[in-house]
């Protein structure tokens, strides 16, 4: 599936670096068939040294040579990039975009012949613990979907979904890491106030978050049951649960996700 595909990345920033590194490590794609473009000379040289792949100083060479083109550019520049490469995009090309807020129909208006997939990844892809939502255009064949999955599975997990849910996904998993970082940090700082060394507290807090997530994913037990399993009547966890139940934490999280999704919709 991936071995014979020539894979090109437009833009070689942090997320592109993560995905390319994942693809190289997965061996799903051959090293000499992965390349990228980066207009910033410093970023280009850094990526060349780190990744060991061909990196062009222009986008056209990538598009001409690649079977699969992954657009890893910022939303505010992608329309200009699409306009630039449009003459070289044929119906055989698979286009994957990770630009937040940019709809498939927008990309299609510039690239009417292309096969298009929209992906919402997240930054834990940089440590191969990402989760990516894959939204294929309705006309796509199974091979195109499997190719996108192979690319994004190299940096974590994937789910297939419909584009109409992408704003909610952007809020939940795209922006979500920032909110978990805040919770992890604040819990560690609370423990520090009780006298615990901050670095130890941060490690305890972060690993507890990792372990709790894995319990949900791997045990098959629903969150409310898991909460009950940790909570002894009259014990420590119950005392903390009462504070959470009396607080506005559910509304705060609702507002956080709703506002983020609203912004994602506005970007689109």
110 assigned to some structural domain? yes
Is residue 150 domain-shared with residue 201, that is, in the same domain? no
d(CA 100, CA 126) in angstroms, rounded, equals: 18
Tracing tokens 């799903």 back to the chain, one arrives at: 28
Is residue 161 domain-shared with residue 178, that is, in the same domain? no
1 assigned to some structural domain? no
| Digit-coded pLDDT (tens) for 171-205 | 999 999 999 999 999 999 999 999 999 999 999 99
Is residue 209 domain-shared with residue 149, that is, in the same domain? no
Q: Residue 202 maps to which CATH number?
A: 1.10.3730.10
Alpha helical stretches, state H, the chain: 14-26, 41-51, 59-65, 75-85, 104-110, 142-153, 166-169, 176-193, 198-219, 223-230, 236-246, 249-267
243 assigned to some structural domain? yes
| Digit-coded pLDDT (tens) for 197-216 | 999 999 999 999 999 999 99
Q: Residue 60 maps to which CATH number?
A: 3.40.50.720
Is residue 132 domain-shared with residue 180, that is, in the same domain? no
| Digit-coded pLDDT (tens) for 58-113 | 999 999 999 999 999 998 899 999 999 999 999 999 999 999 889 999 999 999 98
Of the residues 145, 166, 187, the one at which a domain ends: 166
On the question of pLDDT at 1 being above 60, the answer is no
Strand pairing category for 7-10 and 68-71: parallel
Q: pTM of this prediction?
A: 0.91
3-state secondary structure of 234: coil
Is residue 213 domain-shared with residue 158, that is, in the same domain? no
On the question of pLDDT at 31 being above 90, the answer is no
Please, which pLDDT band fits residue 2 given cuts at 50, 70 and 90? low
Mean residue pLDDT across the chain:
94
230 assigned to some structural domain? yes
Is residue 160 domain-shared with residue 178, that is, in the same domain? no
Q: Which structural domain, as residue segments, surrounds residue 207?
A: 174-267
193 assigned to some structural domain? yes
Is residue 140 domain-shared with residue 91, that is, in the same domain? yes
Find, among 121, 86, 150, 144, the residue nearest to 14 by Cα.
Answer: 121
Number of domains, the chain: 2
The CA-CA-CA angle for residues 193, 195, 200, to 5°, reads: 95
Of the residues 149, 166, 183, the one at which a domain ends: 166
2 assigned to some structural domain? no
Is residue 116 domain-shared with residue 81, that is, in the same domain? yes
């Amino acid at each position: 599936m991936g071995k014979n595909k020539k894979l090109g990345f437009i833009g070689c920033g942090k997320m592109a670096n993560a995905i390319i590194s994942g693809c190289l490590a997965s061996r799903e794609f051959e090293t000499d068939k992965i390349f990228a473009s980066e207009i910033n000379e410093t970023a280009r040289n850094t990526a060349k040294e780190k990744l060991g792949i061909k990196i062009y100083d222009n986008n056209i060479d990538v598009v001409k040579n690649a079977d699969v083109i992954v657009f890893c550019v910022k939303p505010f520049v992608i329309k200009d990039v699409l306009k630039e490469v449009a003459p070289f995009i044929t119906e055989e090309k698979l286009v994957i975009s990770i630009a937040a807020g940019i709809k498939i129909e927008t990309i299609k208006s510039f690239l009417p012949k292309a096969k298009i997939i929209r992906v919402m990844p997240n930054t834990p892809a940089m440590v191969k613990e990402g989760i990516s939502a894959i939204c294929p255009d309705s006309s796509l064949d199974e091979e195109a979907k499997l190719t996108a999955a192979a690319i994004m599975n190299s940096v974590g997990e994937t789910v297939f979904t419909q584009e109409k849910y992408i704003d909610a996904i952007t809020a939940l998993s795209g922006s979500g890491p920032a909110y978990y970082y805040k919770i992890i940090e604040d819990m560690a700082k609370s423990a520090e106030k009780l006298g615990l060394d901050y670095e130890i507290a941060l490690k305890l807090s972060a690993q507890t978050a990792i372990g709790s997530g894995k319990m949900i994913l791997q045990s098959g037990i629903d969150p409310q049951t898991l909460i009950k399993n940790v909570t002894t009547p009259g014990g420590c966890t119950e005392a903390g649960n009462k504070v959470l139940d009396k607080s506005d934490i559910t509304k705060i999280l609702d507002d956080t996700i709703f506002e983020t999704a609203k912004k994602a919709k506005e970007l689109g």
